[in-house]
Chain A
């Protein structure tokens, strides 16, 4: 039965798409093929979700080598949330971004662009499903390397240096991760996550284990854009082709956070995390990012960079909730992980439309855009309000759980900081909305039309999900709460 092999197909479909695409010629053909593969991956993710919801976690042994010796793919609630998000946003970006890609990527590079895109998707999916820490490294590098190349395809020459910078920092981070894995292996003799969980508890007080945790934490911290090792992120998001920014902002950092959740809570367990002061460090870093990155965002003059800093701040929320190390905290972290990915992807897709029509995304370019591109700017406005945390959107649901988690452990002061930071979000997003809606297009500005239909549909599909889950959040909240319970209970 094909349904039993869905876990491996989930990775293989986009992975195999890459060589196929590299052999193709022509933009249209490669676009259609890539979109086809990614949409199939999305359908597989839906299939897996149905399986997990009905029968619980799915385990798949690669090549029939039983774990812990063989590599295991393991799919539970948390995994399917991530899979839905990665493949869903990838589909939305490809379906909606066709024209934007056509403008920003030269014809002869198009097949390679799509090949890299699919590789990236495959890498992120692999990181999500694998139950083996070294296999995870391989997928991490697959996604990272393809990201570097994708960022370098940006039109400005600064894209090259952004990609280079990202490559250097990213490689250092990934190597830190490998060191951590090595130390873990040294102490336990296994690479399987489930097996590690069982064996780490026997040696958890040793210095080596703590060192391993530190290396893994910093390595992943780089990947997920944790302040203060974040500086690759604003450049990369700002310089990458618009569609790539949209995809990365929605998925890449989120998957890294997911891996951190898996490793910190799944393998090491809460005991080490809280007793080693790491939890306090994470909380402090999270709060720092919430405030510092939001303030930085206020002073940006380019919308893409602004949103990149906003992402750093939102990662701060997630880290903070993660650092609380309570069930409520993890629920909030997982929820916000998902919700933020959705909101940011929408915002960046709207920017894709703006960049497509205007060629750039400086703040002053937004003047009067709402008249020229009403559907785009309305989607942007809804997503922006959601990011601020206005009720009836998923942003509000996230905020609610973040606050509840903060109250649960640290009390009012932190809750006030979180709310203050959402006000900062209002402060940096509002000028864009206001410019779009209440200013006139500058005199002599070229006539522009609304974004292409496919892009609008993609944006509004995300907005619809946003509002639907904002009004009726049972589905995501339950998944997140279940996932949090599993993580806390150290069930891998």
Chain B
């Protein structure tokens, strides 16, 4: 395998692992959501770079352009971004409620509180 070869995939993978790592390990529930966003963004990067054709332009129907990038993944990712925003917004809204109900957004502390009840 030549290096950097398909380096865009490597970037996506590194981002993805960073995101997942935060989701799994960080006890702060807000930071978990940050990690989740990084994780999702890595997939967006993956899709967008996948569709890029070197030297290609945007898909404009004109005689001057013969090579252009695949527009479909880009459009898909537009949708995915919207979904991602909705998810993040909902998560943050939940966290506001959790903060109000438990007085903390620390996972360990909340678990302790839940055990009490």
Whether A and B touch (Cβ < 8 Å) is answered with yes
CB of A407 within 8 Å of the partner chain = no
Q: For the side of the interface on A, what is the size category?
A: 20 to 34
Q: In the complex where A138-B83, A149-B90, A182-B46 touch, is A171 in contact with B40 (Cβ < 8 A)?
A: yes
Contact check, B79 vs A161: say whether CB atoms are below 8 A apart: no
Instruction: Choose the segment among B52-60, B61-69, B95-103 that binds chain A (4+ C-beta atoms closer than 8 Å).
Output: B95-103
CB of A378 within 8 Å of the partner chain = no
Interface set, chain B 24-77, CB cutoff 8 A to A: 29, 32-33, 36, 39-40, 43, 46-47, 50, 72-73, 76
Q: In the complex where A157-B101, A179-B46, A185-B73 touch, is A145 in contact with B90 (Cβ < 8 A)?
A: yes
The 9 residue pairs across chains A and B that have the minimum distance between CB atoms: A157-B101, A141-B83, A160-B98, A164-B94, A160-B97, A182-B47, A171-B87, A134-B76, A167-B91
- Name A169's closest neighbour in chain B (CB-CB): B23
CB of B18 within 8 Å of the partner chain = no
Q: In the complex where A145-B87, A157-B102, A167-B91 touch, is A178 in contact with B97 (Cβ < 8 A)?
A: no
A148 to B101, CA, bound (A): 17
CB of A168 within 8 Å of the partner chain = yes
B107 to chain A, nearest CB (A): 9
Contact check, A152 vs B83: say whether CB atoms are below 8 A apart: no
Q: Which residues of chain B are near A138, meaning CB under 8 Å?
A: 79, 83
Contact check, A172 vs B94: say whether CB atoms are below 8 A apart: no
Q: Identify A152's interface contact among B23, B29, B80, B94, CB under 8 A.
A: B94
B92 to chain A, nearest CB (A): 10
Q: Tally B residues with Cβ within 8 Å of A.
A: 31
CB of A326 within 8 Å of the partner chain = no
- Name A235's closest neighbour in chain B (CB-CB): B114
Q: Is the interface of A mostly helix, strand, loop or mixed?
A: helix
Contact check, A164 vs B101: say whether CB atoms are below 8 A apart: no
A230 to chain B, nearest CB (A): 16
CB of B14 within 8 Å of the partner chain = no
Contact check, A148 vs B80: say whether CB atoms are below 8 A apart: no
Contact check, A148 vs B90: say whether CB atoms are below 8 A apart: yes
Contact check, A141 vs B46: say whether CB atoms are below 8 A apart: no
List 12 additional A-B contacts (Cβ < 8 Å) besides A171-B87, A179-B46: A134-B76, A137-B80, A137-B83, A138-B83, A152-B94, A152-B97, A157-B102, A167-B90, A175-B40, A182-B46, A182-B47, A182-B50
Contact check, A168 vs B95: say whether CB atoms are below 8 A apart: no
A138 to B78, CA, bound (A): 11
Q: Identify A158's interface contact among B43, B76, B114, CB under 8 A.
A: B114
Q: List 12 A-B contacts (CB under 8 A).
A: A134-B79, A138-B79, A141-B87, A145-B86, A148-B90, A149-B90, A152-B97, A157-B101, A157-B102, A164-B91, A167-B94, A172-B20
A215 to chain B, nearest CB (A): 10
A168 to B101, CA, bound (A): 19
Q: Which residues of chain B are near A178, meaning CB under 8 Å?
A: 43, 47, 80
A42 to chain B, nearest CB (A): 28
A160 to B114, CA, bound (A): 11
CB of A50 within 8 Å of the partner chain = no
Contact check, B23 vs A164: say whether CB atoms are below 8 A apart: no
Contact check, B32 vs A168: say whether CB atoms are below 8 A apart: yes
Q: In the complex where A157-B101, A161-B98 touch, is A141 in contact with B36 (Cβ < 8 A)?
A: no
Q: Which residues of chain B are near A172, meaning CB under 8 Å?
A: 20, 23, 36, 39
Q: Which residues of chain B are near A160, meaning CB under 8 Å?
A: 94, 97-98, 101
Q: Identify A167's interface contact among B43, B50, B87, CB under 8 A.
A: B87
